[in-house]
Amino acid sequence: MTTLLLAFDLIGTFVFALSGGTLAVRQRLDLFGVLVLSCAAAVSGGIVRDVLIGAHPPASLADWRYLVTAMAAGLVTFRWHGLIERLRNPVQLFDAAGLALFAVLGTGKALAFGLSPFAAMLLGMVTGIGGGIARDVLVARTPVVLQAELYAVAALAGGGVVALASALHLPQHPAMVAGALACFGLRWMALRHGWRLPVARPRE
Amino acid sequence: MTTLLLAFDLIGTFVFALSGGTLAVRQRLDLFGVLVLSCAAAVSGGIVRDVLIGAHPPASLADWRYLVTAMAAGLVTFRWHGLIERLRNPVQLFDAAGLALFAVLGTGKALAFGLSPFAAMLLGMVTGIGGGIARDVLVARTPVVLQAELYAVAALAGGGVVALASALHLPQHPAMVAGALACFGLRWMALRHGWRLPVARPRE
Amino acid sequence: MTTLLLAFDLIGTFVFALSGGTLAVRQRLDLFGVLVLSCAAAVSGGIVRDVLIGAHPPASLADWRYLVTAMAAGLVTFRWHGLIERLRNPVQLFDAAGLALFAVLGTGKALAFGLSPFAAMLLGMVTGIGGGIARDVLVARTPVVLQAELYAVAALAGGGVVALASALHLPQHPAMVAGALACFGLRWMALRHGWRLPVARPRE
């Protein structure tokens, strides 16, 4: 079970890192910039969560496998970015899976550190979307997750299931599976059907 | 007294959140983006302060009322942004009050965690202006508080009064009231009279 | 020895702060903006390192000399920015020295807090380049260190020497001197000879 979780966690890290590397290549950053954006996209969410709950040092610094995985994804993107861009659909699939896993595991870790279910749900969302925000801020553009198709809402839904189960004293493992499925399903449906949140109309 | 402080703290949170929501609507972010910018503007300063002094978890995560207040302000902005924009003057009044309160309370909290008066004054300023910086960085623009009318200087003045009183072993509560009045008064005069700091002239 | 280290540390702080102040003047920020960018460029890297390893409060807040040095550099830039711009070559020399020192000392501090050599090397790099990233993000531009001539790679090399020595149980002080020389030499050669990392070619 733990091995399975670690495998998913590293797959999520790899796919998030691909998104950072791809953006860096498009922005014509050099090899180092590609590696930094890969790592930033992959581990920033978890680092922010760990800093906020007081987990020192953050998991992705304590275990070298996360950063090495992220750097490997960066190197892959640097060399075969054309291929990665063509694989957009499978990458989005893995990205949705990574988002679901990060949101659910992030919520679980925050609960384990004694935060309230409400705060834990928000920290699960931060774990899922923080990397994408850091990636976009580093190239000075408004984060896509603040605009895109139910991306953060899906993360919130996944963490919300886990947080609700904790508040109701239900068993945690089934709740995490249900939360991950909810997040993945919502994100996937939003992608396929173009579901979006409403946008306010500024004054003329 | 504590109830009064909490009320002011929540009013400051609400007004800061309005500034984030208004910017998000102008940038045509979706509903989620509006909520994120509202929360970022309202609680980032306090979160950075708590992370730097080692207060885990940050106050705005430990107490759900802060984020719920910020989200309520986001929803209000999303629905009635035209009205909020027309209310610019009263909103600026409350914003100056929120700034004064955040700067003074932030300085007091840093002192209570054992920081030096100098560092505490700076952390009070960070508490007051951090939210506005996070808000602007998230939409990729240079933070207004680095350019605007004595905004951060007013926060520094408020925190400075509290820090000075601490260094001189004067009683803290009157110092906080005096600091808040100094910050509010300076900010308000700067707004009314267009007081500005000098700008260096870059080489041609 | 400790006095010598402190002197170098403050020189590094001063020179990094000059880079922040110069950018602020070019962006026509006011006096306060110049001071904030000076401080952000000088101390952000160390603050991020201290937050990640759990050192509360960060060294640059615990010791007032760092921020006062950074602010002095900001004032100097505000008043004599034309002169600073003309002194580009000596400033780059000191900047390379500051980078070397920050990377090596940052790696050493992370090792002292029990991090693995791999993580410590990365945190040394963050100590060296974090300030430049914060400086650039605050004026909404893609950080120069993600694009420039082996800047971050030099920091990584310096920290890597210290981390490797720690992994091999070699004495630390000679390793720090060697690491600083490696970082400084690599950065200086890159500047003089225009060495660059490769850039991927995005698809047409």
Is C88 an interface residue toward B (CB < 8 Å)?
Answer: no
Question: Residue A30, by phi and psi: left (phi above 0), alpha (psi -120 to 50) or beta?
Answer: beta
Complex confidence, ipTM: 0.81
User: What number of other Cβ atoms are within 10 A of residue B90's Cβ?
Assistant: 11
Residues C196, C146: contact at Cβ < 8 Å? no
Is residue B180 over pLDDT 80?
A: yes
> Is the bond preceding B57 in cis, omega lying within 30 degrees of 0?
yes
Taking contacts as CB-CB distances below 8 angstroms, the residues of chain C near A27 are: 142
Tens digits of residue pLDDT in B53-111: 988 889 888 888 999 999 999 999 999 888 888 877 777 787 888 899 999 999 999 99
Is A112 an interface residue toward B (CB < 8 Å)?
Answer: no
The reported pLDDT for the residue numbered B141 is 85
Cα dihedral A161→A166→A167→A169 (10° resolution): 120
Flag if C61 and B203 touch (Cβ within 8 Å).
no
Is C143 an interface residue toward A (CB < 8 Å)?
Answer: yes
C157 vs C189: CA distance, rounded Å:
14
Residue B62: CA atoms inside 13 Å, Cβ hemisphere, count?
Answer: 13
Stretches in chain A below the pLDDT threshold 70: 1, 148, 202-204
A109 vs A120: CA distance, rounded Å:
8
Q: Supply the DSSP string of C48-71, one letter for each residue.
A: HHHHHHT-SS-HHHHSHHHHHHHH
Taking contacts as CB-CB distances below 8 angstroms, the residues of chain B near C37 are: 146
Lowest mean pLDDT among A53-57, C79-83, C85-89, C133-137: C85-89
Strand partners, B199: C30
B1 vs B69: CA distance, rounded Å:
20
The reported pLDDT for the residue numbered C202 is 67
CB pairs < 8 Å spanning A and B: 78
φ, ψ for residue A12, nearest 5 deg: -60, -45
Is residue C199 over pLDDT 70?
A: yes
Taking contacts as CB-CB distances below 8 angstroms, the residues of chain A near B77 are: 200
Taking contacts as CB-CB distances below 8 angstroms, the residues of chain B near A200 are: 25, 28, 31, 34, 77-79, 81
Chains that touch B (3 or more CB pairs under 8 A): A, C
The reported pLDDT for the residue numbered B200 is 78
DSSP 8-state class, residue A26: H
Taking contacts as CB-CB distances below 8 angstroms, the residues of chain A near C113 are: 57
Is residue C23 over pLDDT 70?
A: yes
Is residue B11 over pLDDT 80?
A: yes
Percentage of chain C beyond pLDDT 90 is 48
Flag if B199 and C139 touch (Cβ within 8 Å).
no
Supply the mean pLDDT for chain B. Answer: 88
Is C137 an interface residue toward A (CB < 8 Å)?
Answer: yes
How close B67 comes to chain A (CA, Å)?
9
Of residues C4 and A96, more confidently modeled = A96
Q: How confident is the model at residue B202 (pLDDT cuts 50, 70, 90)?
A: low
User: Tokens in use for C55?
Assistant: 């050192």
Tens digits of residue pLDDT in A51-104: 999 888 898 888 889 999 999 999 999 998 888 888 777 777 878 888 999 999
The reported pLDDT for the residue numbered C203 is 59
Residue in chain B nearest A150 by alpha carbon? B32
Is B83 an interface residue toward A (CB < 8 Å)?
Answer: no
Strand partners, A199: B30
Residue in chain B nearest A149 by alpha carbon? B30
Flag if C199 and A29 touch (Cβ within 8 Å).
yes
Flag if A31 and C137 touch (Cβ within 8 Å).
no
Taking contacts as CB-CB distances below 8 angstroms, the residues of chain C near B116 are: 62, 64
Residue in B115, B140, B198 closest to C61 by CB: B115
Is A65 an interface residue toward C (CB < 8 Å)?
Answer: no
B193 vs C77: CA distance, rounded Å:
28
Residues C16, C42: contact at Cβ < 8 Å? yes
Element at C29 (helix H, strand E): none
Instruction: Give the 3-state DSSP-derived string for chain B, with helices as H, strands as E and coil as C.
Output: CHHHHHHHHHHHHHHHHHHHHHHHHHCCCEHHHHHHHHHHHHHHHHHHHHHHHCCCCCHHHHCHHHHHHHHHHHHHHHHHHHHHHHCHHHHHHHHHHHHHHHHHHHHHHHHHCCCCHHHHHHHHHHHHHHHHHHHHHHCCCCCHHHCCCCHHHHHHHHHHHHHHHHHCCCCHHHHHHHHHHHHHHHHHHHHHHCCCCCECCCCC
Is A133 an interface residue toward C (CB < 8 Å)?
Answer: no
Helix runs in C56-171, H state only: 59-62, 64-86, 88-112, 117-138, 151-167
Residue in A113, A141, A200 closest to B81 by CB: A200
Is B52 an interface residue toward A (CB < 8 Å)?
Answer: no
